[in-house]
Amino acid sequence: MGDISREEMKNTLRILVATDCHLGYLEKDEIRRHDSFQAFEEICSIAEQKQVDFLLLGGDLFHENKPSRSTLVKAIEILRHHCLNDKPVHFQVVSDQTINFPNTFGHVNYEDPHFNVGLPVFSIHGNHDDPAGVDNLSAVDILSACNLVNYFGKMVLGGSGVGQITICPILIKKGSTSVALYGLGNIRDERLNRMFQTPHAVQWMRPEAQEGCQVTDWFNILVLHQNRVKANPKNAINEHFLPRFLDFIVWGHEHECLVDPLEVPGMGFHITQPGSSVATSLIDGESKPKHVLLLEIKGNQYRPTKIPLTSVRPFEYTEIVLKDESDIDSNDQNSIIEHLDKVVQSLIEKSSKRAVNKSELKLPLVRIKVDYSGFMTINPQRFGQKYVGKVANPQDILIFSKASRKGRSDVKIDDSERLRPEELNQQNIEALVAENNLKMEILPVNDLDVALHNFVNKDDKMAFYSCVQYNLEETRSKISQDADPLKFEEEDLILKVGECLEDRVKERNTHSKKDMAFTSSIQSSKDLGSKSSTAVGSAVSFSDDEDTVKASGSKPTRGRKASSKAADDTPIKTSTRGRGRGRGRGTSSLKQTTLDASLGFRQSQRSASAAATATVRSIADTDVMNSASSGEPRENEVEEINDSSENDDSLLSKGRKRTAPRGRGRGSTQSKRGKKSDNSAVQRTLMGRDDSNDDSEDEDNARKILNKSQPRATRNYGALRKGR
């Protein structure tokens, strides 16, 4: 019997599979800071006890893209303790290792003569620890350079359009068993989705047929780290995108533990989803018991064995609908608190009964989702204070929600929409725009989404700046291709900017996403102190430079004096920001733009055309602006605006800008030196039209409209000022 078992062991490849360890999660929390390391320590201990050939990790080994020194040290200590020993390695890597491990050394770590590696670890990267920076390095590269981890599945996106990748397997042999291990580190789901649907964008390399080993003799395993379940199919990878020659798939990134392999109908392969080893989201899916998978492969046969993790902190989750509880009075808050206290106590008792090791009982995580439709809420932090020292998360035991009007089925879809911690704290911009039926008029949605992702998750401080600069330059270059932009009709200018946006959206859909591009709608000019208006008067771009510069290369304006001149061939003009918090003076073109914006006329294309006409002519007419700066009336300019069309005349009669509040210094409509702003000319014109009774009635009507539609004045706090 012993000889038979030894013979089987020689031909059986034993792999321990785990995903989403998230080392360093909540490392500053006094209670939960060690949870991720204790779970990873247990995983490595199980690998030693079961005498596996290697440990396979499915991404997100680290929780942060730039893990702290403490997290790196603890991870290296755990791997060094369990992986470096004199135990023999019984399998061979027979593929080209320089392709499988594209690092300085180019070979599997246990073949290094300077190290005794007894437990090889193979890992791909996830979305939390993905490569970034100039050298495209990941935190897993650090462990690879230490010869503790074999890092594979790192793709170089080549080609044009959406890009092209080639997935080469690590060919492993143990006795008569041959395994082809494919790895695909995390790529943005939208892009990988398009790549799978683009012919020849994703190429799979197969092992060559050799004497005694045909292509069909290889057992093919794929490890990937992508969205699996998503309401928007473009933000996930469909299982049917994967090739049919695969036999077994390890799916990372999803935190719900579905470790039992499930066959995909019509595809012929099985999928296991081990889930995370530490609870990072307090939702129902993460409350299920955590497991790792022992995978034994012999020939083309495999045997899965799930192994529970006992060091994981217990987590109890339940949902309550207050209107379904008979002992709660909707007008009595104390009755709600008493009922919730009973529920919390029952969950704590339930957790203690489930504990395997009573001597090392950990404080449990408790989460109660409360549907408070028709009831009042209570303060979750105040409620949790009485459970300090009894639960691990006293500050967020309760989470309140309301049932959807369409039914509770919609709410449940959100919870089962699986289980990434970031989904609880932030929302994808593309989904937000689609959900609210918003129309992006300045920026492509994809650029905005990529910029925010890199700023938050990759700590890219220049993400927004690079995005703004890229889109501004792209729009300017396309507008400047015409011979004389100042001779455009107002409708042409509006259409030109719209065409630029459409072109950028098409480019984003067919090419890889550029790093960031932002701009802001015209409404933002009411909130921020640093502004620059475009020639069409329909968009305002922002800069946090202290000295503003004209977009076409004209000289910058410094000090407290606002620029009142513009080059004849300059379609774009900027304004300076004076000292103080959001009290900078704007140019005449900006004031004309904000006039229409404050009156809420942006929805009307006719009013937008009038704003564009006034802006272009005020920029082009340098003599008129010089006369305005010297205090002379700007009658000619007002006449030109009034002569544009009859409707434009009525627009200006109704569109007088409201005087700024007193005591605002440089933010008032009249400067300290007694020079009147551009709006004073419009006001004098409006006041001068009181000669006839009809004109006075028109002005009264205009004032009534202003009182109704004028937005409330708010202080600007200079959100884009440089940090000191």
> Could you tell me which residue, 515 or 458, shows the higher pLDDT?
458
Q: What value does the mean pLDDT take over residues 634-644?
A: 43
Percent of the chain beyond pLDDT 70?
A: 61
Q: Would residue 674 count as lying in a domain? A: no
Q: What value does the mean pLDDT take over residues 663-691?
A: 45
Domain boundary among 349, 369, 403: 403
For residue 358, pLDDT over 50 is answered with yes
Same structural domain, 177 and 193: yes
Which residues are bridge partners to 548 per DSSP? 557
Q: What confidence score (pLDDT) does residue 482 get? A: 62
Q: What confidence score (pLDDT) does residue 475 get? A: 78
Q: Would residue 45 count as lying in a domain? A: yes
Same structural domain, 397 and 435: no
Full-model pTM: 0.61
pLDDT classification of 238: cutoffs 50, 70, 90:
very high
Q: How far is Cα of residue 581 from the mean position of the Cα atoms in its chain?
A: 30
Dist. CA 592–CA 207, nearest whole Å: 68
Same structural domain, 448 and 340: no
What residue numbers bound the domain in which 472 lies?
A: 429-479
> Could you tell me which residue, 484 or 218, shows the higher pLDDT?
218
Q: What confidence score (pLDDT) does residue 311 get? A: 93
Same structural domain, 255 and 390: no
Q: What value does the mean pLDDT take over residues 598-624?
A: 46
Which residues are bridge partners to 302 per DSSP? 297
Q: Would residue 717 count as lying in a domain? A: no
For residue 688, pLDDT over 50 is answered with no
Q: What confidence score (pLDDT) does residue 641 get? A: 40
Q: What value does the mean pLDDT take over residues 189-208?
A: 94
Q: What value does the mean pLDDT take over residues 352-380?
A: 87
What DSSP line would sit under 547-615, residue for residue?
SB--TTSPPPB-TTPPP----TT---EE----SSSS-----HHHHHHHHHHHTTGGG-HHHHHHHHHHH
For residue 339, pLDDT over 50 is answered with yes
Domain boundary among 308, 324, 356: 308
For residue 200, pLDDT over 70 is answered with yes
For residue 712, pLDDT over 60 is answered with no
Domain boundary among 386, 403, 420: 403
Do residues 394 and 387 make contact, with C-beta atoms less than 8 angstroms apart? yes
Q: Would residue 644 count as lying in a domain? A: no
Q: Which of 152-161, 235-244, 627-636 has the highest mean pLDDT?
A: 235-244
Q: What confidence score (pLDDT) does residue 709 get? A: 44
Q: What value does the mean pLDDT take over residues 108-114?
A: 95
For residue 148, pLDDT over 70 is answered with yes
479-531: per-residue pLDDT in tens?
777 645 555 566 666 677 777 777 777 666 555 444 443 433 333 333 434 43
For residue 119, pLDDT over 80 is answered with yes
Q: Would residue 498 count as lying in a domain? A: no
Q: Would residue 610 count as lying in a domain? A: no
CATH code for the domain in which residue 23 is found: 3.60.21.10
pLDDT classification of 620: cutoffs 50, 70, 90:
very low
3-state secondary structure of 151: strand
Same structural domain, 216 and 88: yes
Same structural domain, 155 and 265: yes
Q: What confidence score (pLDDT) does residue 454 get? A: 81
Mean pLDDT, rounded, of the chain: 74
Same structural domain, 277 and 206: yes
For residue 17, pLDDT over 80 is answered with yes
3-state secondary structure of 698: helix
Angle, alpha carbons 570-660-600 (nearest 5°): 65
Q: What confidence score (pLDDT) does residue 329 get? A: 86
What DSSP line would sit under 20-64, residue for residue?
---BTTTTT-TTTTTHHHHHHHHHHHHHHHTT-SEEEE-S-SBSS
- Pick the range with the lowest mean pLDDT from 24-38, 360-374, 444-458: 444-458
What phi-psi label fits residue 176: left (phi over 0), alpha (psi between -120 and 50 degrees) or beta?
A: alpha
Instruction: End-to-end CA distance of the chain: give it in Å, rounded.
Output: 76
For residue 293, pLDDT over 80 is answered with yes
For residue 318, pLDDT over 90 is answered with yes
Q: What confidence score (pLDDT) does residue 68 get? A: 97
Burial bucket for residue 623 (CB in 10 Å: 0-12, 13-18, 19+): exposed
Domain count, the chain: 3
Q: Would residue 65 count as lying in a domain? A: yes
Same structural domain, 438 and 373: no
Same structural domain, 253 and 376: no
Do residues 597 and 525 make contact, with C-beta atoms less than 8 angstroms apart? yes
Same structural domain, 117 and 246: yes
Active site residue 63: no
Q: What confidence score (pLDDT) does residue 492 get? A: 66
Q: What confidence score (pLDDT) does residue 624 get? A: 41
Q: Which of 389-393, 436-440, 592-596, 647-651 has the highest mean pLDDT?
A: 389-393
CATH code for the domain in which residue 375 is found: 3.30.110.110
Q: What confidence score (pLDDT) does residue 406 get? A: 53
pLDDT classification of 614: cutoffs 50, 70, 90:
low
Q: What value does the mean pLDDT take over residues 676-686?
A: 46
Q: Would residue 44 count as lying in a domain? A: yes
Query: Which residue of the set 125, 128, 255, 453 is catalytic?
Result: 128
Q: What confidence score (pLDDT) does residue 468 get? A: 84
Do residues 258 and 339 make contact, with C-beta atoms less than 8 angstroms apart? no
Same structural domain, 193 and 118: yes
| Dihedral, CA of residue 688, residue 694, residue 697 and residue 703, to nearest 10 | -40
538-585: per-residue pLDDT in tens?
333 333 343 333 333 444 444 433 334 433 444 444 343 444 433 343
Same structural domain, 373 and 461: no
Q: What confidence score (pLDDT) does residue 287 get? A: 94
62-93: per-residue pLDDT in tens?
999 999 999 999 999 999 999 999 999 999 99
